[in-house]
């Protein structure tokens, strides 16, 4: 082993024979029976328990991400469970693996856009100026702006107004939320069509208000969706779909070879 | 495609352009901003929102499972993130993959033991008789009984008393909890040493009181740990360990070859 | 850290600035350009390069496991790639996660049955007696015998005769292969219907002839299928199916809710 | 379901009760016992069996990627197996999840750089001019060029010369290989230090000669490493490391909390 060893160090939890401490809180005396799952998630990410207002906002964005119905993730989880019923954890993991750039990634990308813009520009920058600049940049790159528009929820994503209202009612409608809304505004003008903030844009903005680093924002979707995927496996036990999906897809996709 | 098609059917969620419905509840009007993450997890698994007492108990068992420090799962997640920083979801998934028979599986196994015993024996069976029978069966198979004893938390797991107290205070200390405690009692007598109920035994029993099928109980650990693993990735960003672990393990494990 | 440290030790590979050694062979001088992928797989598992006959047999069983068309694994991989196009490795991993008890597990289970029977019974045991005993045991447990019968390939699995012929031609038709065939024979008699050895039964038997431990036999399917899954992702790039499968499954499975 | 359905179609494999066809070849009559694992991998990716020369080159690059010793992937796979011994497939999958941008991704990135440059510039472009342009572009972006330099193998990666020699001996030292070498040349001049082509750069170039699309090149590493990871799990069964790694990392990383 090398002489220069970096010390390994983690502050998340430690335990002795009679004690378990999570983020500085005694698990048994201070957390179990006193703190809800959502607030523990906040504790894990922020290193401290949330205020009542932070809890309201953090739980609101987490709740939004739990269940989206029969997504590619949910179908993949069910197909995996079909082949590996011995390991439910693998089915949930398979489902989470699809929460990448196209899905969970959009929360991350929206948060990154907002956090990088505000970090670079400094406290005195005009938010409208920043919004304009972001729209121009993406338009020049011919790339969509994360957090705007939605293929199904048109003209507006019904979750956005609610999420922004919860944030506002709890004092978390600051510069990130405003910048996100201004980006939508400027993009609409520039493209000549409504491009309202969608749920992932709202969540990216609100997570930024909670000072959650953008690199972790995709993780909000991942942790929430893990819950939803367990529910999908439970339903698969009672109302199995995987075998039928397999049969249909296999038959149709090889039909042209079989008949030739 | 075959003529006999099974209809695909899921009751978890559906959406239209302006509405999202999760388990029969309008996401925007009834859930976001009103219900906490833990209660949504209950809704997902049980098909209805919890009572206040159910919520207390369900959140207590979930909270217990979020963070266990630097487990094999957490280390695997960090090592995965080191190689694939583009996909946080894959790092979390890699961590969850280790929540198998040895870890999350013990919650499932404890719940299975309790649920199968009570289902087979009927409502009039003596719980002590059942406990005795279970201990004899496992002793004959020379296999450990799930949910008893702990390698670190000796003589007692500090989480157990707390979890059972929360269950009792909320009216969920029924036959499953009693049977788990009687199994511990009988096992202690039979093996001539203390074999107290550990946290996974308590959680398996309490989940059974909540009528969560044993097949899904491992999922409680999986969904909770997903939260903890996101926190580990966040810490890895700030205080990276993976590279150092790699260097040390590689150097030491190949030392005998290098020097030969 | 504990005073008693177990030394970490691995014999698979090591490297210096100018050398890489895999299983005792210099990668550059002895392996690249000289040994095929299948033979390296043999080297990895057995610690030595195969003879020409071992190579023929090992490649035959590996080749059989590469591609099975549009399986649940392949569909899960494609759905995962749809959501996470940034990480092809995650799509392949998601596909492999479904190679569990129902698929890859049957190779393992067949090998386990054969290896445990022969290990316990000793060299002088009658193979027919062992076969009879195995059939009786599984019949009493009301469980299917791994490696017999096939839902699609009836009355016989076309791969079996070929695999056994390759094994025989290369001197690997020993007691494991014979025992597998006798089990089929006895099971057919006992159940009063043809129960021919299927491909996974043949592979389990031949892998046992190669002295590959049953605990790893599922891995033969896993490593071979990884190749097939990369090909599925490549095809998905050119002829995408995932989006269409998602649309159809989501629409049909929520139809009853939408219309109510 | 929508009226406009896209037809699902796959050309990889299909089967009937007595026949299995992979990429147009009868599995039993044409492949098992006749074609090696590496050549089947070529068939899967290219849609036809390789010539003898293609086989030599394709096997050479695949073989290079199988085993790299105790990498983060291998450690993650072993830690996962520790927690989930019931599903070897999950341990291999966990290991593959780390074959992301930092590892397998470099093969992809090198191939992308080469393929995009040559596609855009047309057949008459000067390769040296292209190389110069690529070096300038990456230097301006302050990003490393994929496929150059190596943290361990200095001054030169011993695999590179061998891989290029195999490619050359078989007629696959064309414009992609030349461009890769010229990029190394120009980068060395521009940065004033040796930046030789490493193994992933050589593999990216040779895979391009074989006309494997860059989007799939990471998959070459993934499929090869699946083999290596099965071998790591086999070794973990005989010489377990995971528990010891866990103990050490947990103890050291929480030491500062325990003692405070």
DSSP letters spanning B220-259 = HHHHHHHHHHHHHHHHHHHS--HHHHHHHHHHHHTHHHHT
What ipTM score was computed for the predicted complex, to two decimals?
A: 0.96
SS (H, E, C) chain A: CCCCCCCCCCCCEEEECCEEEECCEEHHHHHCCCCCHHHHHHHHHHCCCCCHHHHHHHHHHHHHCCCCCCCHHHHHHHHHHHHCCCCHHHHHHHHHHCCCCCCHHHHHHHHHHHHHHHHHHCCCCCHHHHHHHHHHHHHHHCCCCCCECCCCCCCCCHHHHHHHHHHHHCCCCCHHHHHHHHHHHHHHHHHCCCCCECHHHHHHHHHHHCCCCHHHHHHHHHHHHHHHHHHHHHHHHHCCCHHHHHHHHHHHHCHHHHCC
**pLDDT of A1:** 41
Q: Is D86 on the interface with A (CB under 8 A)?
A: yes
Sequential pLDDT tens for chain D (260 residues): 445 789 999 999 999 888 999 999 999 999 999 999 999 999 999 999 999 999 999 999 999 999 999 999 999 999 999 999 999 999 999 999 999 999 889 999 999 999 999 999 988 889 999 999 999 999 999 999 999 998 888 788 999 999 999 999 999 999 999 999 999 999 999 999 999 999 999 999 999 999 999 999 999 999 999 999 999 999 999 999 999 999 999 999 999 988 76
What's the start-to-end Cα distance of chain B, in Å? 62
Q: Which two three-digit tokens encode residue A136?
A: 């121009």
Whether the CB-CB separation of A220 and A127 falls below 8 Å is answered with no
Q: Is C11 on the interface with D (CB under 8 A)?
A: yes
Burial class (CB in 10 A: 0-12, 13-18, 19+), A258: exposed
Spatial neighbors of B142 by CB under 8 A, at least 6 apart, are none
- CA B65, CA B203: separation in Å to the nearest integer? 9
Partners of chain C (3+ Cβ pairs below 8 A): A, B, D
Q: Is D13 on the interface with A (CB under 8 A)?
A: yes
Q: Is D4 on the interface with C (CB under 8 A)?
A: no
Closest by CA to D207, choosing from D99, D132, D112, is: D112
Instruction: Return residues 99-118 of A near C (CB < 8 Å).
Output: 99-103, 105
Cβ neighbours of D239 (radius 10 Å): 14
C154-194 pLDDT per residue, tens: 788 999 999 999 999 999 999 999 999 999 999 999 999 99
Q: Which two three-digit tokens encode residue D96?
A: 């593959």
Could you tell me which chain A residue has the CA closest to the CA of D13?
A: A254
Which residue in the set B8, B84, B249 is minimally distant from C252, CB to CB? B8
Q: Which two three-digit tokens encode residue D60?
A: 């050479």
**pLDDT of B76:** 98
User: What are the Cα distances from residue A145, in Å, to A7, A197, B10, C2, D218?
Assistant: 41, 10, 33, 52, 28
Closest by CA to B126, choosing from B90, B175, B163, B70, is: B175
**pLDDT of B233:** 98
Q: Which two three-digit tokens encode residue C247?
A: 């649309």
Q: Spell C36-48 as b/e; 16+ CB within 10 A means b.
A: bbbbbbbbbbbee
Average pLDDT, chain C: 95
**For range A146-152, the mean pLDDT:** 89
Could you tell me which chain B residue has the CA closest to the CA of D105?
A: B84
Q: Which SS3 state, helix, strand or coil, does residue C111 take?
A: helix
Q: Is C252 on the interface with B (CB under 8 A)?
A: yes
- Examine the pLDDT at A9 and tell me if it is beyond 80: yes
Burial class (CB in 10 A: 0-12, 13-18, 19+), C255: middle
Q: What is the pTM of this model?
A: 0.97
CB contact under 8 A, A33 and B70: no
**For range C211-226, the mean pLDDT:** 98
Contacts of B97 in chain C (CB under 8 A): 97
Q: Which SS3 state, helix, strand or coil, does residue D169 take?
A: helix
CB contact under 8 A, C10 and B253: yes
Whether the CB-CB separation of C26 and C13 falls below 8 Å is answered with no
User: What are the Cα distances from residue A173, in Å, to A169, A195, D121?
Assistant: 8, 20, 49
**pLDDT of C5:** 87
Peptide bond into B80 cis (omega under 30): no
- CA A184, CA A135: separation in Å to the nearest integer? 9
Q: Which SS3 state, helix, strand or coil, does residue D17 take?
A: coil
Sequential pLDDT tens for chain B (260 residues): 445 789 999 999 999 888 999 999 999 999 999 999 999 999 999 999 999 999 999 999 999 999 999 999 999 999 999 999 999 999 999 999 999 999 889 999 999 999 999 999 988 889 999 999 999 999 999 999 999 998 888 788 999 999 999 999 999 999 999 999 999 999 999 999 999 999 999 999 999 999 999 999 999 999 999 999 999 999 999 999 999 999 999 999 999 988 76
């Amino acid at each position: 082993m090398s002489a220069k060893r970096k010390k390994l160090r983690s502050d998340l939890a430690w335990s002795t024979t009679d004690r378990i401490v999570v983020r500085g809180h005694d698990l048994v005396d201070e957390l179990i029976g006193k703190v809800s799952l959502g607030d523990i998630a906040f504790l894990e990410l922020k290193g401290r328990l949330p205020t009542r207002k932070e809890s309201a906002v953090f739980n609101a964005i987490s709740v939004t991400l739990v269940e989206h119905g029969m997504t590619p993730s949910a179908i993949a989880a069910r197909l995996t469970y079909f082949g590996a019923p011995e390991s439910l954890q693998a089915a949930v993991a398979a489902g989470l693996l699809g929460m990448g750039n196209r899905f969970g990634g959009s929360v991350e990308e929206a948060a990154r856009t907002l956090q990088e813009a505000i970090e670079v520009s400094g406290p005195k920058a005009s938010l409208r100026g920043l919004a304009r600049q972001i729209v121009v940049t993406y338009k020049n790159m011919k790339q969509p702006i994360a957090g705007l528009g939605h293929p199904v929820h048109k003209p507006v994503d019904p979750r956005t107004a609610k999420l922004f209202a919860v944030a506002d009612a709890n004092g978390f409608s600051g510069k990130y939320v405003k910048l996100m809304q201004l980006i939508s505004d400027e993009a609409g003008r520039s493209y000549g069509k409504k491009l309202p903030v969608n749920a992932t844009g709202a969540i990216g903005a609100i997570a930024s208000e909670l000072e959650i680093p953008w690199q972790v924002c995709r993780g909000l979707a991942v942790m929430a969706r893990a819950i939803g995927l367990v529910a999908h496996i439970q339903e698969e036990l009672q109302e199995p779909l995987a075998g039928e999906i397999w049969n249909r897809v296999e038959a149709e996709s090889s039909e042209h070879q079989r008949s030739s």
